[in-house]
């Protein structure tokens, strides 16, 4: 696990970490979340559990959070960190535009 220190880019990395964790939480909690939420809604309204509706809403939430996590703007250049033109690499360890390393505390190109 990467520790985010208080550097120039720390707020950007913290926001990115929050978005990524939210996406993973929704993704890994999909099946139990849909079952529990659908069952709770069905019991609350004394109807059949609306599993399909809950599943669709949950998938939309996964879609939105994964898009927000992958739409990270580079703290240095302001471009999309994972995307350059039509090319997208969600596993890259550096900005596809300026080469800033992921989780960098400071800009290595600037004097401290």
* pLDDT of 18: 95
Split the chain (112 residues) into runs of 10 and give each run's mean pLDDT: 76 93 97 97 96 98 96 94 95 95 78 48
Q: Do residues 105 and 9 make contact, with C-beta atoms less than 8 angstroms apart? A: yes
| Domain residue ranges of the chain, discontinuous segments joined by + | 10-71
- Phi, then psi, of 83 in degrees rounded to 5: -130, 135
Residue 100 corresponds to which tokens in the numbers above?
A: 């800033």
- At 3, is the secondary structure helix, strand, or coil? coil
Can you spell out the DSSP letters for 3-37? ---SSTTHHHHHHHHHHHHHHHHHHHTHHHHHHHH
- Tokens in use for 67? 């898009």
């Amino acid at each position: 696990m990467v520790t985010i220190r208080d550097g120039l880019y720390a707020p950007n990395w913290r926001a990115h970490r929050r978005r990524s964790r939210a996406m993973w939480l929704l993704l890994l909690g999909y099946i139990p979340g849909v079952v529990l939420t659908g069952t709770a809604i069905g019991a609350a309204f004394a109807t059949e559990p609306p599993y399909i509706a809950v599943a669709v809403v949950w998938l939309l939430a996964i879609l939105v959070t994964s898009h927000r996590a992958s739409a990270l703007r580079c703290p240095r250049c302001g471009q999309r960190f994972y995307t350059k033109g039509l090319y997208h690499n969600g596993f890259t360890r550096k900005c596809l535009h300026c080469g800033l390393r992921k989780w960098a505390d400071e800009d290595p190109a600037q004097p401290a």
